[in-house]
Amino acid sequence: MKVKIKENHAGVMTLNDGTKQNYGAIRVTQNMRKLIYYTGKGLREMFKPDMTEDEKHKAEELKQLDEKTLMKSGHVAKILLSEIKELN
Tell me if 5 is assigned to some domain: no
- Give the pLDDT band of residue 1 (cuts 50, 70, 90): very low
Tell me if 29 is assigned to some domain: yes
> Where in the sequence is the domain holding 82, given as residue range(s)?
10-87
Tell me if 1 is assigned to some domain: no
> What does the pLDDT read at residue 8?
86
What is the average pLDDT across 16-44? Answer: 94
Tell me if 77 is assigned to some domain: yes
Look up the pTM and report it: 0.89
> What mean pLDDT is reported for the chain?
92
pLDDT of residue 88 exceeding 60: yes
Count of the separate structural domains present in the chain: 1
DSSP 64: T
Question: Regarding predicted confidence, which is higher, 4 or 20?
Answer: 20
Residue 59 to residue 41: CA distance in whole angstroms: 11
Question: Regarding predicted confidence, which is higher, 8 or 75?
Answer: 75
* Other Cβ atoms closer than 10 A to 67: 13
Tell me if 2 is assigned to some domain: no
Tell me if 65 is assigned to some domain: yes
Number of helices (H), then strands (E), belonging to the chain: the values are 3, 5
Tell me if 47 is assigned to some domain: yes
HSE value, Cβ hemisphere, 13 Å, CA-based, for 11: 12
The candidate with the shortest Cα–Cα distance to 84, out of 7, 20, 26, is: 20
